[in-house]
Structure 1
Amino acid sequence: REALEEYGCFEALFDPILELRKAVFGALQGVFDLPLQTKKQFVSDKPFRGYSCSPSAMFQSMAVDDAHIAENIEQCLTTSLWPQGNISFSKTLASFIQLTSELEKTILKMILESFGLEKYMDELTNIAKYQLRIMKYEKPKANEQTIGVPAHCDSNMMTLLYQNEVNGLEIQNKDGEWMNTKLSPNSFIVIIGECLCVWLNGRLSSPYHRVMMMGNEDRYSLGLFSSVRGGYMVKVPTELVDDKNPLLFKPHDHEEFLKYFSSEVAKGVVKSGAVKSRLKTYCAV
Structure 2
Amino acid sequence: MVGAEADNSNLEWSLPVPSVQELAKQQPDTVPSRYIVDDMDCSITTVDTDSSDDHHVPLIDMTKLVNPDSHNEELQKLHSAFKHWGLFQLINHGVPDEIIRNMKEEIQNFFDLPLQEKKRSAQKPGSLEGYGQAFVTSEDQKLPWNDMIFLKALPVQNKNVSIWPQKPPKFRETLENYSEEMRKIAVTLARFMAMGLEIEAEEICKAYQGGRYEVRMNLYPPCPEPERVIGISPHADNSGITLLLECGNTPGLQFLKDGRWVTVVPIDDAIVVNIGQISEIMSNGIYKAPDHRAVVNRLKDRMSIVMFCYPDSSINVGPAKELISSGNPPLYKTLTHAEYLHTFTKRSLDIPFIDLLKI
- Distance in 1 between residues matched to 2:190 and 2:251, nearest whole Å: 26
CA deviation profile, 1:57-116 (whole Å, cap 9, x unmatched): 6212222224353x86682443xx43xx65411121122212222111111111111222
Q: Find the counterpart in structure 2 of residue 58 from structure 1.
A: 145
The alpha carbon displacement at 1:16 in A equals 3.3
Amino acid of the structure 2 residue aligned with 1:63: F
- Distance in 1 between residues matched to 2:286 and 2:333, nearest whole Å: 15
1:215 matches 2:298: yes
**Which consecutive residues of structure 1, in runs of 5 or more, have no partner in the other structure?**
none
Q: Find the counterpart in structure 2 of residue 153 from structure 1.
A: 236
The alpha carbon displacement at 1:166 in A equals 1.4
Distance verdict in 2 for CA 1:260–1:6, change over 3 Å: closer
CA radius of gyration, larger in:
2
1:114 matches 2:200: no
The alpha carbon displacement at 1:143 in A equals 6.2
- Distance in 1 between residues matched to 2:89 and 2:198, nearest whole Å: 23
- Distance in 2 between residues matched to 1:46 and 1:199, nearest whole Å: 30
Distance verdict in 2 for CA 1:95–1:124, change over 3 Å: same
- Distance in 1 between residues matched to 2:182 and 2:126, nearest whole Å: 24
1:29 matches 2:103: no
**Which consecutive residues of structure 2, in runs of 5 or more, have no partner in the other structure?**
1-78, 137-141
Contact 2:146 2:231 in 1 (8 A): yes
The alpha carbon displacement at 1:240 in A equals 0.9
Q: Find the counterpart in structure 2 of residue 177 from structure 1.
A: 260
Question: Pairwise mapping of residues 82-161 of structure 1 onto structure 2 (< 5 A)?
Answer: 82=166, 87-117=169-199, 118-125=201-208, 127-142=210-225, 144=227, 146-161=229-244
Contact 1:199 1:234 in 2 (8 A): yes
Contact 1:74 1:90 in 2 (8 A): no
- Distance in 1 between residues matched to 2:154 and 2:88, nearest whole Å: 23
The alpha carbon displacement at 1:20 in A equals 3.1
The alpha carbon displacement at 1:37 in A equals 4.8
Contact 2:243 2:274 in 1 (8 A): yes
- Distance in 1 between residues matched to 2:327 and 2:191, nearest whole Å: 25
Contact 1:171 1:180 in 2 (8 A): yes
- Distance in 2 between residues matched to 1:143 and 1:196, nearest whole Å: 33
Residues paired across the two proteins, number: 270
The alpha carbon displacement at 1:177 in A equals 1.1
Superposition RMSD in Å? 2.7
1:281 matches 2:355: yes
Contact 2:131 2:150 in 1 (8 A): yes
Distance verdict in 2 for CA 1:237–1:258, change over 3 Å: closer
Q: Find the counterpart in structure 2 of residue 8 from structure 1.
A: 86
Q: Find the counterpart in structure 2 of residue 251 from structure 1.
A: 334
- Could you tell me the percent identity over the aligned residues? 22
Q: 10, 15, 19: which one pairs with 2:98?
A: 19
Structure 1 range deviating more: 19-28 or 239-248: 19-28
Amino acid of the structure 2 residue aligned with 1:116: E
Q: Find the counterpart in structure 1 of residue 14 from structure 2.
A: none
Greater strand content: 1
Greater helix content: 1
Q: TM-score, normalised by structure 2?
A: 0.67
Q: TM-score, normalised by structure 1?
A: 0.83
Partner secondary structure for residue 185 of structure 1: coil
Amino acid of the structure 2 residue aligned with 1:10: F
